[in-house]
Structure 1
Amino acid sequence: MKKLFTATALAAVCAASSLAAQEKIMISDPNWNGARAVGHVIKAIVTEKMGGEAEILTGMNQQPVIFAGMDKGDGSIDIHPDMWMPNWQSAWDQYIEGNGTVKTNNSYAGTSRLYVPSYMADKLKSMEDLNDPEVAAMFDTDGNGKGEYWAGDVTWASTKRWQVKFKSYGLDALWEPNVVSGDTFKAGLAAAYAASQPQLFYYWTPEALHVQYDLTPLEEPARSEGCEDLDLDAENWLEVSEFECAGTPASVYVAYSASLETRNPEVAAMLSRMQLTGDEVGLWIQEMFENKRDPAEVAQEWIADNAETVDAWING
């Protein structure tokens, strides 16, 4: 009887572990294409290759909420598919280094710069050129005497960083930020590009925008000691922060709740071993969002073509 009880108890534990391993994975959906593409690939790996369940939380694009959800560890939000650093240094310090409630994979490299359409490249080549009132006037669409540039979405830390840059370069008197969603910006860019009108905007790689349009980045001063001193969490972040040089290349991570290590250890292990490249992410973006293909189909095709790589992520 004792042996029977032990065997039964062991079977129950194994069954419980199996159920835990299959706990549904909740993937956030930040509102840019790179994050969406990576999210679809993760979902396909979990559902198609690992036999689990995963859901992309459409509309879950408030990054502070995403990080707080991963920190809670209750399964409401498990994954941020495209965490850009150092844009979210405060979240890194709090949840990864501090609480230890969020983990990451190995990063891939990204860049973020200020761009104009290449048909504007003969008129301005560097941030220094933005000090010319005649240049700023070309980008003044509302007649208030200031040129406009797209700094990003209101929820992005990078949006603050570009506003700090313009202040630090002494451009506040001539320029003002246009803070709107990525989708709104891209619709405006398409219309402006078709009419060869001026546009000045922050953007990044990898992204399919660089395939769709011919874009030129503006040059910035080289980095030097003390050229970047940011406190974006301060109430008066714009006044106390300085940034008057080129940024460093970004490191982009898949971030996930540390609670997955107990709630779904197989998926947590897979995410920890996941190693992406900018070229891969750029390909997914192009196929899913520019060529308008079904994201699930693109993800499944890539997984089939890279089975050995994906199996190594899953099995170690």
Structure 2
Amino acid sequence: MKKALAIFGLTTAVGVSISQGVSAKETIVIGEVSWDASLAIENVLKVVMEKNFNVDVEIMSADQAAIWSAMDKGKGSIDVHPDIWTSSQTEPWAKFIAKGGKESVRANKTPYLGTDGFYIPGYIQDEYGVKSVYDLAKPEIAKLFDADGDGLGEYWPGAPGWTGVKINQIKAKSYGFDKYFEPIIVSDSIIKAQLKTAYRKKEGILFYYWTPEWIHFTYDLRKLEEPAFTGYAGDSKKLHKDYNPDGCYKFSDTENWLQDSEIKCGVPNTEIYIGYSASLEKRAPEIAAFLSNVALDASYVSQWIFKIASEGEYPDEMAEEWVKNNSAIVDTWLP
């Protein structure tokens, strides 16, 4: 009996020792926003993290406000925003990332660059000569984009919850085409379906969009000309490197944002970052170092999006294949 107890005690001690020596895996949660670049980037990050670190990675669909809030709290409900467009996320960037703000969210050191603006089909531009946003402020041009026959053209300023929805409605007012157009605020997937239909019927469609994105590989799309950027105006931008009290870009995120704002220009190429909760620096320091090091290129992102959205590859399989074939790039991201 004593021998049996001794063996039991030794087994128990060994079991305790082993359990204490093996740390539980940290779970990293990436927020998925509603566009294809996010879907592509998050899957590449997931594959790299699970292959190189002792973590599990989950992906959770959420709107941007929820992702920012969760990263700020730092409790692990969502840890990573995979695709922060700084041009449309100026307010949360200032609040959570910028020095002097809460500094509860970090960003990777090297962004990739994107562009955005209003797009129309090439056949509309070629036949009717629509080249500038100011051409939209003509009733005869607006009729080309009147899909429901109510006498007003329709345009897509962005999906519900995007800061860009406000930005693009302000632009419509500032350029004068709001008198002839109405905003249609629907999801990204719906506008892509409408684009497919418009192209099949050779009809007009006006929408905000960006590069990199797969639709530019599939359709002949033309970006409408806007006046050159001359700087950000308004008191909230006084510390910005592009501040100009007489600048063309004044966005006031007030209760009367449409009346209080005026934007009469495009913007420079946008720096696009990966954001992550500062709490990862303590909870999973190797992951924080990795995310800080990730350096994407627009050409990578365009390739990923095209394979997923146009060629029908599953995002996880695309990511596995790319990571396998691009180990030299991935190695530069690892701490």
Return the offset for 1:289: 2.0
- Corresponding position of 1:208: 214
- Secondary structure of 1:256's counterpart equals strand
User: What is the distance in 2 between the residues matched to 1:311 and 1:223?
Assistant: 38
Query: In the alignment, which residue of structure 2 is the partner of 1:291?
Result: 311
> Which residue does 1:310 correspond to in 2?
330
For 2:252, the aligned partner's letter is D
- The equivalent residue for 1:82 is 83
1:107-146 alignment runs, 5 A limit: 107-122=111-126, 123=128, 124-146=130-152
Amino acid at match of 2:322: W
Aligned to 2:257: 237
Residues in 1 aligned to 2:174 and 2:200: alpha-carbon distance in whole angstroms: 33
Counterpart AA for 1:174: Y
Shift of 1:193: 0.6
Show the counterpart of 2:160: 154
Counterpart residue type for residue 133 of structure 2: M
In structure 1, what residue type is equivalent to 2:76? G
Counterpart code for 1:163: Q
The CA deviation string for residues 264-304 of structure 1, in whole angstroms up to 9 with x for no partner, is 11111000000000000010111122111121121111112
Q: Aligned runs of 1:126-275 on 2, under 5 Å? A: 126-224=132-230, 225-232=246-253, 234-275=254-295
- Report the Cα offset of residue 171 of structure 1: 1.8
In structure 2, stretches of 5+ residues that fail to align are 1-16, 231-245
1:96-127 CA-to-partner distances (Å, cap 9, x unmatched) read 12111100012110000111110011211111
| CA–CA distance in structure 1, aligned partners of residues 250 and 21 of structure 2 | 53
| Partner residue, 1:99 | 102
CA distance in 1, matches of 2:303, 2:54: 25
2:10 match = none
The share of aligned pairs that are identical, in percent, is: 42
Q: Deviations over 1:141-171 (max 9, x none)?
A: 2233211111110111111111000111122
Looking at structure 2, the residues matched to 309 and 187 of structure 1 have their Cα atoms a distance apart, in angstroms, of 35
Residue 236 of structure 1, CA deviation:
1.1
Work out whether 1:25 is the aligned partner of 2:46. no
Give the TM-score of the pair, scaled to structure 1. Answer: 0.91
Moved more, 260-269 or 286-295: 286-295
Counterparts of 1:206 and 1:172, CA distance in 2: 27
Aligned to 1:63: 64
For 1:170 and 1:218, how far apart are their aligned partners in 2? Answer: 15
Is 1:300 the counterpart of 2:320? The answer is yes
Q: Which residue type is aligned with residue 160 of structure 1? A: K
Q: 1:49 to 1:288 in 2, by over 3 A?
A: farther
Tell me the residue number matched to 2:240: none
Contact 2:134 2:176 in 1 (8 A): no
Aligned to 1:7: none
Cα distance in 2 between the residues matched to 1:170 and 1:138:
17
Query: Quick one: distance in 2 between partners of 1:287 and 1:172?
Result: 36
Residue aligned with 2:59, SS: strand
Please give the TM-score of this superposition, normalised by the length of structure 2.
0.86
8 A contact 2:134–2:177 mirrored in 1? no
Give the CA deviation at 1:47: 1.1
Output the CA distance in 2 between the equivalents of 1:296 and 1:138: 40
Give the CA deviation at 1:15: 4.5
The aligned counterpart of 2:37 is: 34
What letter is aligned with 1:241?
S
Q: Please identify the structure whose Cα radius of gyration is greater.
A: 2
In the alignment, the residues of structure 2 paired with residue 168 and residue 246 of structure 1 have an alpha-carbon distance, to the nearest angstrom, of: 12
Gaps of at least 5 residues in structure 1 are 1-10
Offset of 1:207 from its aligned partner?
Answer: 0.3
Give distance in 1, aligned partners of 2:260 and 2:277. 32
From 42, 52, 56, the counterpart of 1:53: 56
Q: CA RMSD in A?
A: 1.8
In 1, the alpha carbon distance for the partners of 2:276 and 2:210 equals 23
Give the counterpart letter for 2:84 in structure 1: M
Distance 1:99 1:92 in 2: 10
What is the CA–CA distance in structure 1 between the aligned matches of 2:217 and 2:328, rounded to whole Å?
A: 29
> What is the distance in 2 between the residues matched to 1:132 and 1:80?
40
